[in-house]
């Protein structure tokens, strides 16, 4: 079990060093790869969108530990 945890830490460490972790948002295209779904919206529309959940927001459920019921969605972009 300890070996498996060390392997998991190693894999996650290599991924974080090799890739940028980006939010899983697919509504807007971006030239630089960074996304913001609220740019240019009027304040009322921005508040309405922020109050509604995004389809990629995790749904938290607690059984014995806190975990996401629908997974954690993200995008990876290779670092330069």
Is the pLDDT at 9 greater than 90, yes or no?
yes
DSSP 26-59: -SS--SSS---TTTT--HHHHHHHHHSPPTTS--
pTM of the model: 0.46
What's the pLDDT at 80?
80
Domain ranges in the chain are 2-78
Helix (H, G, I), strand (E, B) or coil at 1: coil
Is the pLDDT at 12 greater than 80, yes or no?
yes
pLDDT in tens, 17-73: 998 877 776 655 555 555 555 555 677 776 776 666 666 666 666 667 767 777 777
């Amino acid at each position: 079990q300890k070996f498996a945890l060390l392997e998991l830490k190693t894999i996650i460490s290599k991924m974080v060093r090799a890739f940028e972790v980006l939010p899983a948002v697919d509504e807007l295209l971006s030239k630089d790869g960074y996304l913001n779904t609220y740019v240019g919206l009027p304040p009322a529309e921005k508040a309405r969108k922020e109050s509604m959940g995004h389809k990629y927001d995790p749904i938290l459920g607690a059984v014995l530990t806190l975990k996401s019921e629908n997974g954690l969605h993200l995008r990876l972009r290779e670092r330069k």
